[in-house]
Amino acid sequence: MLELPWGQKGSMKLSKAAGSRTTVVSAFALLAIGAGVPLQAQVSLTGAGATFPAPIYQKWFSDYQSIGNAQINYQPNGSGGGIKAVTEGVTDFGASDMPLTDEQLSAYQSKHGFKVLLFPTVLGAVVPTYNLPSVKQPLNFTPAALAGIFMGTITKWNDPAIAGANKGVSLPNLDINVAHRSDASGTTFVFTDYLSKVSPEWVQKVGKANTSVQWPAGIGGKGNDGVSGIVKQQEGAIGYVELIYAVKNKLAYGNVQNSSNEFVTASLSSVTAAAAGAAKSIPDDFRVSITNAPGKGAYPISTFTWLLIPSKIPDNAKKTALVGFVKWAITKGQDEVEALDYAKLPSSVVTKETKAVSLIR
Amino acid sequence: MATPAALTGNLPPRSASRVLYDRLRGGDEIAYLLTLACTVATLLIVVFLIGELWFRSQAAIKAFGLSFLFSSTWNPNGDQFGALPFIYGTCITSFLALLIAVPFGVASAIFLSEMAPPLLSNIFTFLIELLAAVPSVIYGLLGVFILVPIIRLNLVPLLKHTLGFLPLFKGSTFGFSFLSAGLVLSVMIMPFIVSVSREVLLAVPVEQREAALALGATKWETTWQIVLPNAKTGILGSIFLALARALGETMAVTMVIGNTPVISASLLSPGYSIAAVIANEFAEANGALYVSSLIFLGLVLFGLTIVINAIARIFIVMTSRRFG
Amino acid sequence: MTDRAHIATHRKIINVLMLSLSGLCTLLVLSVLFFILGYLLVHGVKSLNWNFFTKLPKPSGETGGGMANAIVGSGKILLLATCIGVPIGALTGVFLAEYSGKQFAFLIRYTADLLNGVPSIVIGIFAYSVVVIPMKHFSAWAGGLALGIMMIPISVRTTEEFLLAVPNSMREGAMALGATKARTIFTVVIPAAAAGLLSGLMLNLARVAGETAPLLFTALGNMFWSHGWHEPTASLPVMIYNYAISPADDLHQQAWAAGFVLLSLVLFINVTARLVIQRGAGASRR
């Protein structure tokens, strides 16, 4: 009698395999059907960009889902990522803490044939955050100290450059471990913008402000989250993050000396003070830098943050949703920003923006 | 009983279209064409992939040429791109991984092939091969939360205390370093070395062992002087396979290496690898030269893995030829 | 006559020492595996709760979010990957095993191995250029294509291997009964190899289920449910990566839970597939 190698067992296995195959196939089928059917008739939008305003944006988009009947998916991958994504047209909008340069604007224009518009949404602060459990009160940082630390020339916490501004505080003899951004970051832009304004050495050694610079020292973290994570884990570490990241992760952050020689703590009022001067004379495209702003009580590392929206949106539903969102964010949405330690937009800016939004066709 | 017409040869003549239809129904042509189409599709995908890589890195190749591989400046700000820090990081972490994984891996393979009873050997090998199935991001997760703190708080003080004079262990550390990446990689590639080496060792004919034992050698001497040399090429093949895997590893490395383009003799320094920089910077690379440089890096990495894989295959083919 | 007692003591010592060392190494390697599993088990299970499986991610700072959309998203992307990669790969394997000549077979195998060696991040770049940019958005399609391309080489190899393992007597038997070659392949040979093919598929799937790098700039991610296949889609590995590098403890917990779910799934598929292969191999040896 002919005995096949796979024999009876083979055919049993065959039917068992077929049975399990059927189950697998039907499970996949259910998954496919379930996943393919839209739950509601909501407009879906995608945006990517800065991690600086990510906490408030995520809250806004979450709230706006019911208000504007639009599902706006925001992926914080850094300002550089936002600029690239909107320029290549793979997202509906972007977000950046660095106002686009002329070259980036013209690159967009030549690629798409129309302009990309910038809309400021909130004001925020970049703070130097550090991990020194033995130091109980906030440290004061002079511009020279900050520049020196991030250039790698000041390597110990008890260096006279730091101690000089912090009389009476006992600083430990720890190594300073610098944390900076590994991704192209608007937060980096703001911080380096400030450093290049206050330290000629910085400009010479590192270069002008940009989303990515050649850091002489330290390690890179991804996003504001990444830098906060590094500082939180490592004693003696220092990094620069948006204020809310230091606050919600319970990290200490220092006071920075402003152009009026005061040591200012980042707060709603000090950030608002920094924007006060610029608010009256903000240009039509809203591109402005408010670092090292003059005036009493102004926090020197403050910034606007912008949404990058194409001036032409062919899909009507998307355009309505996005325009509606911007209008809501700069008015009603502003009520939510202070709870997350961002400062409200000056009213003169809001007025100007409301007019600018209607430019989107 | 009616006999089938086919058996008696009394078939009615068939028209050409009927013949064609029957042939098609037989399915041979369709099956052949279908499978051939899929094969061609596979080939085309590879061709397109390489073509796309080559084409999109042209801008960087034209701008920098081969000096790209030896330049250590990576400055998106000034459009200056050099691959050396990443090549260095990739090589250093992979070699460190091999340095740790090979002794442990080969030793385990020896134990599993020479010492352990077959059942135990099979079970243990099964379990070790499961290590190869653990996703890279999970190794990264464990690396970030367990390995990096241990390195920073325990291992580094120990190393500095004992071997701190070596340039290998100079400088302060966050824990995110070449060392962490090398350690994580070593765990990831060990199963490949164990699995393939064990197979190769088992393939050495038992007569060789018996002959050695008959001449009075101890088990270890047999293994070290007879079996291993026989299996040498195969084990080398497994090492190159593991190396190829280590070179291309992305997630686990980027989560523990520190993401800083730095060339440093110190293992405690943070660094960068080719795969890690592409993963981190591709999404935001704006500007034709920047993107092109990253893709050029990807091409370099691909080239490296092709070469290493080819060497591995040569060794493994040599081994299988040897043992038939 | 060889008298074992006369073997020099130092050789005996070395023998025992080296063999014990190698045993120790094995135990060390195994203990790493158990440590990984154990740690993930403890930490992951601790953070597993109903929220994790049913809720969407919450804005940062708020607790109580989950990964429901990432779990479904991973499923969608893997489904696409399987539908793209497995047919192409399997039918190529059929061609290799049943139809092709020696030279062409060598070329195909070499190409498949080449594709297998491509770093996954590079495949991600390819999928970005080929799908995301023309489509003008990130999508499950792009992620599915990237992972599908990764599935092709293994699919080719396992299909070829298991089809070749089917003895020729079966093919000859079928042909003797009048079946065409195509019919033989699809109704006799493939079913005979079914267990092996399925296990190969499962191993392939398990490998690709954990891939993160190619999804970073193809499927991107999503805070909400992604409708259909055209939208950015959240996936488990990418969420693990994002949460692991964040400083929030709540997100760390979720990363552990997700890691546990992912690892359990991958290991379960692996163990099942390997057991099926081993049992099949054992049966054929008799």
Ranking A197-201, A243-247, B119-123, C45-49 by mean pLDDT, the lowest is: C45-49
- The band of B5, judged by pLDDT with boundaries at 50, 70 and 90, is low
Residues 72-111 of B with CB under 8 A from C: 103-105, 107-108, 110-111
* pLDDT tier for residue A18 given thresholds of 50, 70 and 90: very low
Share of chain A above pLDDT 70, in %: 89
Q: Contact at 8 Å (CB) between B113 and B93?
A: no
Q: Above 70 in pLDDT, residue B324?
A: no
- At residue A257 the predicted structure's pLDDT band, cuts being 50, 70 and 90, is very high
Kindly tell me the sign of the dihedral angle through the C-alpha atoms of B220, B222, B224, B227: negative
A242 forms beta bridges with A126
> In this predicted structure, what is the pLDDT of residue A334?
92
Burial code of B15-48, b = ≥16 C-beta within 10 A, e = fewer? eeeeeeeeeeeebbeebeebbbebbebbbebbee
For tokens 């224009």, the residue is A109
User: Taking CB atoms and an 8 Å limit, are C195 and A13 in contact across chains?
Assistant: yes
pLDDT at residue A24 in the model: 52
pLDDT exceeds 80 at position B2: no
Q: Which of A6-10, A120-124, B193-197 is least confident?
A: A6-10
Predicted complex ipTM: 0.88
CA distance B109 to B203: 12
Which chain C residues contact residue A54 at CB under 8 A? 60
What is the signed CA dihedral for C143, C144, C147, C153, rounded to 10 degrees? -150
Residue C283 is predicted with a pLDDT of 57
**DSSP structure string for A305-332:** EEEEEES----HHHHHHHHHHHHHHHTG
Q: Cα distance from A252 to chain C (closest Cα, Å)?
A: 14
Interval C192-220 mean pLDDT: 90
Q: What is the mean pLDDT of chain C?
A: 88
Nearest-CA distance B254 → chain A (Å): 10
**pLDDT at residue A36 tops 70:** no
For residue A11, pLDDT over 70 is answered with: no
Residue in A64, A153, A41, A52 with CA at minimum distance from that of residue A99? A52
Residues 175 through 234 of chain C touching chain B, CB cutoff 8 Å? 180-183, 185-186, 206-207, 209-213, 216-217
Overall average pLDDT of the C240-258 stretch: 88
CA distances (Å), A237 to each of A140, B75, C79, in order? Answer: 16, 24, 44
Q: Which of A9, A38, A249 lies closest to C228 in CB terms?
A: A38
DSSP code at position C251: H
Q: Where do the H-state alpha helices sit in A37-142? A: 54-67, 79-88, 102-112
| Minimal C-alpha gap between C89 and chain A (Å) | 18
Nearest to A173 by CA among A163, A184, A186, A165: A163
* DSSP summary character for residue C2: -
Contact call for A183 and B280, based on CB within 8 A: yes
First to last CA, chain B: 56
Tell whether B237 lies on the interface with A, counting CB pairs under 8 A. no
Instruction: Name every chain A residue with its beta carbon within 8 A of the beta carbon of C246.
Output: 223, 225-226, 228-229
Chains in contact with chain B (at least 3 beta-carbon pairs closer than 8 A): A, C
Please state whether beta strands A237-242 and A177-181 pair in parallel, antiparallel, or not at all (unpaired).
Answer: parallel
pLDDT by residue (tens digit) across A324-356? 999 999 999 999 999 888 999 998 899 999 999
Between these two residues, B163 and A80, which has the higher pLDDT value? A80
Look up residue A216 and give its DSSP letter: S
Helices (H) and strands (E) in chain A, counts: 13, 12
Over 90: is that where the pLDDT of C246 sits?
no
Contact A73 C194 (CB under 8 A): no
A10-14, A340-344, A354-358, C179-183: range with lowest mean pLDDT: A10-14
Question: Percent of chain B beyond pLDDT 70?
Answer: 96
- The whole-angstrom separation of Cα A152 and Cα B20 is 80
Show Cβ contacts of residue B195 under 8 Å, excluding neighbours closer than 6 positions.
B125, B128, B129, B132, B238
Residue A329 has a pLDDT of: 92
Closest CA to B260 of A188, A52, A131, A213: A213
List C-alpha distances in Å: A261 to A264, A272, A295, A297, C247.
9, 18, 10, 10, 33
Q: What is the pLDDT of residue C275?
A: 86
Are the beta carbons of A6 and C192 separated by less than 8 Å? yes
Confidence of residue A195 (pLDDT cuts 50, 70, 90): very high
Closest-CA residue of B relative to A156 is B172
Q: How many CB pairs under 8 A join B and C?
A: 247
C202 Cα to chain A: minimum distance (Å): 11
Note whether C227 contacts A17, CB cutoff 8 Å.
Answer: no
Residue C129 near chain A (CB below 8 Å): no
- A-C Cβ pairs (cutoff 8 Å, strict): 121
Matching residue, tokens 């020292």: A217
Residue B101: its pLDDT value, please?
Answer: 94
Task: Answer whether C64 touches A (CB < 8 Å).
Answer: no
* Closest alpha carbon within chain C to A35: C228
Q: What is the pLDDT of residues B234-279, one digit of tens each?
A: 899 999 999 998 998 999 999 999 888 989 888 888 999 999 999 9
Task: Give the integer Cα–Cα distance in Å for A278 and A293.
Answer: 8
- Contact list, C270 vs chain B (CB under 8 Å): 130, 133
Report the chain B residue with the minimal C-alpha distance to residue C261.
B138
Which uninterrupted H or E stretch holds C52? helix C50-54
DSSP conformation letters of B153-181: IIIHHHHHHHHTTSGGG-S---S-SHHHH
Q: In this structure, are residues A321 and A72 in contact, taking their beta carbons and an 8 Å threshold?
A: yes
Distances from the Cα of A153 to the Cαs of A160, C86, C274, in angstroms?
12, 56, 57
Give the dihedral sign, CA B12/B17/B18/B19: positive
Is the pLDDT score of B198 beyond 60? yes
Q: What average pLDDT score do residues A21-30 get?
A: 52
Average pLDDT for residues B85-108, to the nearest whole number? 94
| Distance separating alpha carbons of residues B244 and B189, to the nearest angstrom | 9
Q: Looking at chain B from residue 242 to 271, which residues have their Cβ under 8 Å from any Cβ of chain C?
A: 244, 247-248, 250-251, 255
C281 has a pLDDT exceeding 70:
no
Contact A62 C223 (CB under 8 A): yes
The pLDDT tens digits for B268-320 are 889 999 999 999 888 888 888 899 999 999 999 999 999 998 998 888 888 87
pTM: 0.87
CB-based contact B257:B241 (threshold 8 Å): no
CB atoms within 10 A of CB C245: 23
Give the pLDDT score at C285.
47
DSSP state of A120: E
A204 vs chain C: nearest CA distance in angstroms?
A: 33
Please tell me if residue A256 touches chain B, with a CB cutoff of 8 Å.
no
Q: What is the mean pLDDT of residues A241-253?
A: 92
Q: Give, as one character, the DSSP assignment of residue A156.
A: B
Residue C57 pLDDT class (50, 70, 90 cuts):
confident
Select from C140, C153, C157 the least CA-distant residue to C78.
C140
Chains contacting chain C through 3 or more C-beta pairs under 8 A: A, B
Instruction: Label residue C7 by pLDDT band (50, 70, 90).
Output: low
Q: Do A17 and C76 touch (CB under 8 A)?
A: no
Q: Which residues of chain C from 262 to 281 reach within 8 Å of chain B, CB to CB?
A: 262-263, 266-267, 270-271, 274
Mutate to test the interface with C, among A1, A4, A8, A13 (most CBs of C within 10 A): A13
Confidence (pLDDT) at A31: 53
Those residues whose C-beta lies under 8 Å from the C-beta of residue B158, and which sit 6 or more positions away, are none
CA–CA gap between residue B9 and residue A361 (Å, rounded): 79
| Residues 66 through 95 of chain A touching chain B, CB cutoff 8 Å | 77-81, 83-85, 87
The whole-number average pLDDT for the span A305-329 is 92
Q: By the CB < 8 Å criterion, does C246 face chain B? A: no
Q: Which of C132, C171, C224 should we substitute to test contact with A (largest number of A Cβ atoms within 10 Å)?
A: C224
pLDDT of residue B38: 93
Nearest-by-CA chain A residue for C252: A229
Alpha carbon distances (Å) from A289 to A165, A306, A356, B94, C226: 27, 12, 19, 44, 37
Q: Given this model, what pLDDT does residue C46 score?
A: 87
